[in-house]
Amino acid sequence: MKCKEISDHISKWMKDYSKQSRSKGFVVGISGGIDSALTSTLAAMTEKPVLCIEMPIHQSKNQVTRAQNHIKWLKDNFNNVSSHRIDLSDMYDVFTNKNSHNSEDSNHHLALVNTRARLRMTTLYYFAQLNNFLVVGTGNKVEDFGIGFFTKYGDGGVDISPIADLLKTEVFEVSKELGIINEILTAAPTDGLWEDGRTDEDQIGATYPELEWAMSFSGKKESLSKRQTEVLEIFQSLHKMNQHKMKPIPICKIPDKLT
């Protein structure tokens, strides 16, 4: 994999798109994970202004520390990077307290998890409009087009998606080539939306390499091991269930004879 050429290609694409859209720069939400670390680094490579936003909501200390250390690394290496921290915990708590009538319902907990992502999206767009910046998505190919592992109108609400054609393992390869700090390279992938610190693998039931295998599988199921069969079922189930996220919003077309 030609990591240097790929990173140069993506950063040039971002710079060209920014010019075409007449925007002045980029805003990126920094979570302390590999995807936002790579995305913000690629944005910084464009030489256009990059605003990194920290938006903790009862975040674990290690996630916060990784995010802050990455931002420091970015600022040490690029003079076009600035940052802002806004703790959304109080705002989230107010929303939670107003909607606690069905707190024992499992759907209630999942809805609140997605609310975190949507509060962050709203915050990113506030700063984007304030500065005429583009909101940069941090989703990779497995999440965005494989299993739909993102929040609709949360982290899925973006202007551009520069790493959405990279598999998760490729994200790690390119990140390593660019010198992204080791504590991010070695951290277990997580969306950071659950207070118990569960990882992506905990939620999905499969690793990213396993999911990448399932995305490209075209053989006969009869030849698979028990674990491979499990992973394929996980992938296919999520891929089908989350089509509403991965396809354009359905539009009711009016027949010509009615107009």
Which residue numbers in the chain have pLDDT < 50? none
Q: State residue 101's pLDDT score.
A: 67
The string of pLDDT tens digits covering residues 165-174 is 999 999 999 9
Domain with 75, as residue range(s), is 3-195
Say which CATH number the domain at 91 has: 3.40.50.620
Of 26, 1, 37, residue with least CA distance to 175: 37
Domain annotation covers residue 164:
yes
Domain annotation covers residue 153:
yes
Domain count, the chain: 1
Domain annotation covers residue 62:
yes
Q: State residue 103's pLDDT score.
A: 64
Domain annotation covers residue 230:
no
- In this structure, the number of other CB atoms found within 10 A of the CB of residue 239 comes to 17
Domain annotation covers residue 126:
yes
Domain annotation covers residue 252:
no
The string of pLDDT tens digits covering residues 12-32 is 999 999 999 999 999 999 999
Domain annotation covers residue 259:
no
Place of tokens 């506030």: 126
